[in-house]
Amino acid sequence: MITTSRAPSLKTVLLASGVVLTLAMGVRHGFGLWMQPISQAHGWTRETYSLAMALQNLLWGAFGPFAGMAADRFGTMRVVLVGAVSYMLGLVWMAVVNDATLFVIGSGVFIGLGLSCTAFGAVSGIIGRVAPVEKRSWAFGISGACSSFGQFFMLPVAQQLISSAGWQNAFYLLAVLVIVAMIPMALFLREPEVSHSHGPQQSAGEAMREAMGNRSFLFLVAGYFVCGFQVVFIGAHLAVYLADKGIANPKVAMTALALIGLFNIFGSYFAGKLGGRLPKRMLLAAIYFSRSVFISLFLLAPLSQWTVYVFAAAMGLIWLSTVPLTNGIIAGIFGVKHMSMLAGVVFFSHQVGSFLGVWLGGYLFARQGSYDVVWGIAIALGVMAALVNLPINERPLVRAQLQPA
């Protein structure tokens, strides 16, 4: 049970969690920029670095339900503090380790744990508990916009650090930034004591079984798998894809990824705002279908610097706009007592998709010399995700009152 008695204001929670998300997601979205310099420095193929990124994403998802469970029980502050330290260690590890196996395993464990404790799953619970019901979807949209701002802001920073200080020193500097900024912000995420004297007293295990037996929850799980596959494949492989196609200037890829972050600030905010007025399942279906359309048009259009930027802006509008809608549905159906844990479970599916997206991109490129098959899979999965979100029932569950013994 969380024992802190004084409740932070929604403004404080959004500001502190926003800084944490900005750094956690901003640094993570820039990892694709290190693929080429690290692979060249160590004589690795793209598959090795892709596997490291894939394992980071998979373990981020695997640790997610446990980080969420800890946040629900012991408070978000403690979880974020653990995450900041682990994130810092992971960045240092990536700078100093030159054995491929150790690089893959160590960066996967440290960065995966760090992200699970500092990204959406860990902070969604406190946002859901502090925000009034009528503002909950909007608040989730704000948190999504902060993570997108991180991508927009941190990508140019990472590129500049790599260019001016070298790829190893860039990791060291970001490690310092993570610790210096995240730890003070975590102290503002102290949660109030949560009283559940009215209504059924669910344990974490009971909440998990209830969710896994709910068809709408399983549809969310399936849709989020697709989200992870698409965004992480694009984020990790877009830079080298463009280089293979003749756009060798790294600033084009950096600008494209930054544009995704910039436009998703607006996309996430308005998705959260619209989620308070329109059926969230319909908005999710529209987002997934639009992704397939935008990817198809990008592949069919003549490739140039400007078509890359248009594609990035279009994808940015719907990049992480799934997050406030998905979290809003979870809170609406199941309530907020076990919000972080259930969000972590759904996010695990997202990260399984992320693992396959980033790894399959490197694996198939190594064998086929092309990303065509992976692009095709991303398009097909987008259509599937649109269809599985349509039958979701967003109404709150009605639970029987527990009778006293």
Q: Report domain extents, the chain.
A: 10-192+206-389
What pLDDT shows up at residue 313? 94
Spans in the chain with pLDDT lower than 50 = 1-4, 195-199, 402-405
DSSP collapsed to 3 states, the chain = CCCCCCCCCHHHHHHHHHHHHHHHHHHHHCHHHHHHHHHHHHCCCHHHHHHHHHHHHHHHHHHHHHHHHHHHHHCHHHHHHHHHHHHHHHHHHHHHCCCHHHHHHHHHHHHHHHHHHHCHHHHHHHHHHHCCHHHHHHHHHHHHHHHHHHHHHHHHHHHHHHHHHCHHHHHHHHHHHHHHHHHHHHCCCCCCCCCCCCCCCCCHHHHHHHHHCCHHHHHHHHHHHHHHHHHHHHHHHHHHHHHHCCCCCHHHHHHHHHHHHHHHHHHHHHHHHHHCCCCHHHHHHHHHHHHHHHHHHHHHCCCCHHHHHHHHHHHHHCCCCHHHHHHHHHHHHHCCCCHHHHHHHHHHHHHHHHHHHHHHHHHHHHHHCCCHHHHHHHHHHHHHHHHHHCCCCCCCCCCCCCCCC
CATH topology of domain 10-192+206-389: Growth Hormone; Chain: A; (1.20.1250)
pTM value? 0.77
What pLDDT shows up at residue 166? 92
What pLDDT shows up at residue 7? 67
What pLDDT shows up at residue 149? 83
What pLDDT shows up at residue 301? 93
Each residue of 239-294: pLDDT tens digit? Answer: 888 988 888 887 888 888 888 888 988 888 888 888 888 899 999 999 999 999 99
